[in-house]
A = this chain, B = another copy of it.
Amino acid sequence: MYRTHNCGDLRISDVGQQVILSGWVQISRDLGGLTFVDLRDRYGITQLVFNMDENQSLCELARKLGREFVIKASGKVRERSSKNPNRPTGDIEIEVSQLDVLNESKTPPFTIEDDSDGGDELRMQYRYLDLRRTPLQQNILFRSKLAIETRKYLDGQSFVEVETPVLIKSTPEGARDFVVPSRMNPGQFYALPQSPQTFKQILMVGGFDRYFQIVKCFRDEDLRADRQPEFTQIDCEMAFVTRDQILDTFEGLTKHLFKELKSVSLSDFPKMSYDEAMRRYGSDKPDLRFGMEFIDFAESMKGQGFGVFDNAETIVGIVANDIAESYSNKDLKNLTEWMQRPQIGAKGLVYIKYNQDGTIKSTIGKFYDDEFLLKLAEKHGAKKGDIIFMLSGEDEKTRKQLNELRLEMGQRMGLIKEGDFKPLWVIDFPLLEWDEDSERFHAMHHPFTSPKKEEISRMMNGDHATMKSLKADAYDLVINGVEIGGGSIRIHDRELQSKNFDLLGFTKEEAEAQFGFLLGAFEYGAPPHGGIAFGFDRLCAVLNGKNSIRDFIAFPKNNQGRDMMIDAPSKIDNIQMEELFLDSTFKPADS
């Protein structure tokens, strides 16, 4: 036997018991005739004591233990003379009578402490050591609990977890697929699912009524810090359901998770249309933890002879409170440059500084006199000490740029309270997006999303040019400016689905080849249905107030899609290539 208890078990009530513990040496200290060893496992840390007077050879063995050695210690629980109130086991220690070294350890390349001194790549390479650190271990335990509570809630709502296949079919719509060559079907490939979308719809046609799955999905995209080639979704679908029933159900799930995991009681989630979100925040995922809503300055500013504004489609701004004193000219110049970086691409940044002494300082002072600007400020709710920031230009672009400024200022001005959670349903998304490059429509959500009921006849019969304004029965859940998930009511009618494929530029043959099974299924009694998917990795991060999902994934990949620990991907045998009827056309530069 390796242990009678784990390292987090023992309490003052256990004093006198003979116990066996196993774990890792966190630290070892020699104090005169005594050696103390902190023994660690997933459950906690327990102090071991060795006494030079009582058992010299044992104590000498203990003194040789290095960090991260794995040991087994038998002994008696006794009360500590100096207690550690910060540790659940801090009232006791183990007077060790027998010690076995189960495995030695080389000195780790970084410290196994809450704040490690290891760099990202090094920690990914030695992930087994990084995973021993308490914060990372807690993240992974948190993730496990989040999955348990998700399943508990959905099971309680009659959802059935159904596993959908991982080896499916490649469809060029959407992001790039990872593909898997088939040995048994030469020249053909499976694809890994970007989501189980069509399968969950098929399950609705199959009468499963309420489906969910916590499921791995795959996208072969160029990676950013918060993207992974494989990621996890809470994937759901319901039949005979209205939009609001879906939103209520998943608002219920979200509240349950916050309650159980964070002891946070969320109020009912507000709903906001996509159009309103773009108008008020320039974003379809507004962060509602602070104000600074967009103000439309067009009416006030136009027709005053300032050409840039007069010719602009949109003039929009925000009021930043109480920063006029603290923002120097240099600060404002830096901020302007920050806005002009290619990531944001603003041409410039107009500001109107309404100083504490009542004076005005502005980049557009040449075009508008102080009295005008003072009135303008007052009219739009700016007070002494505030700065108005303004951008102008093409509507969509300008709002997006101002959104970046609003978020940045919210951060800089400390408007975001830690532990504050502001969920929001964004609804009524456009059905289609016009893509200038390919000169065709793309699905804003995906090709299976239904237009709103009142839009169907227009969609079936209307003019192609007017399709851009079609609204979809699609929705996103946004928390603190992060998109947690999204979904829609789906099309369940063959004609409407065909029309949508048509608008998206599929030929009849392409639609049939790729989604014939779904179109077929719609002819055999498909019920009305809709669903949603939450990004599970991101939900973990948001619940913990973190930005990066990587620390909530046990074995993440780096930005080149590599697993640094196992060193994958890698070359495969020629035999494997031959069996799969494959040749590589890649010629390394040095060959």
Chain A interface residues (CB < 8 Å from chain B): 1-3, 6, 22-24, 40-43, 68-70, 72, 102-106, 108, 126-132, 137, 140-141, 143-144, 147-148, 151, 155, 160-170, 172, 176-192, 198-199, 202-203, 205-209, 216, 218, 220, 222-223, 229-230, 232, 240-242, 492-493, 516-517, 520-528, 553-555, 557, 560-563, 565-573, 576, 578-586, 588
Contacts and interface: CB of A to CB of B under 8 A. Distances in A.
A14 B198 CA distance: 37
Contacts of A108: 524
Q: How many copies does the complex hold?
A: 2
A151 B131 CA distance: 23
A568 B151 contact: no
A230 B140 CA distance: 26
B570 A581 contact: no
A230 B102 CA distance: 38
A581 B581 contact: no
Given A137-B206, A144-B161, A163-B216, 9 more contacts: A3-B240, A131-B202, A131-B206, A140-B208, A143-B163, A151-B151, A170-B572, A179-B580, A517-B566
Contacts of A23: 240
A188 B524 contact: no
17 contacts: A22-B240, A24-B525, A42-B209, A70-B525, A103-B526, A103-B527, A130-B206, A137-B208, A165-B557, A166-B230, A169-B566, A179-B580, A185-B569, A186-B584, A187-B571, A189-B572, A583-B584
Contacts of A178: 167, 180, 190
A569 B426 CA distance: 37
Q: Which 9 A-B pairs have the closest CB atoms?
A: A131-B206, A105-B525, A169-B568, A2-B240, A581-B586, A188-B569, A187-B586, A68-B525, A583-B583
Given A22-B240, A42-B208, A166 B166 contact: yes
A162 B144 contact: yes
Chain A contact residues: over half helix, strand or loop, or mixed? loop
B127 A220 contact: no
Contact of A569 (B148, B182, B572): B182
Contacts of A562: 185
B163 A192 contact: no
A586 to B, nearest CB: 4
Nearest to A494: B103
B570 A169 contact: yes
B582 A184 contact: no
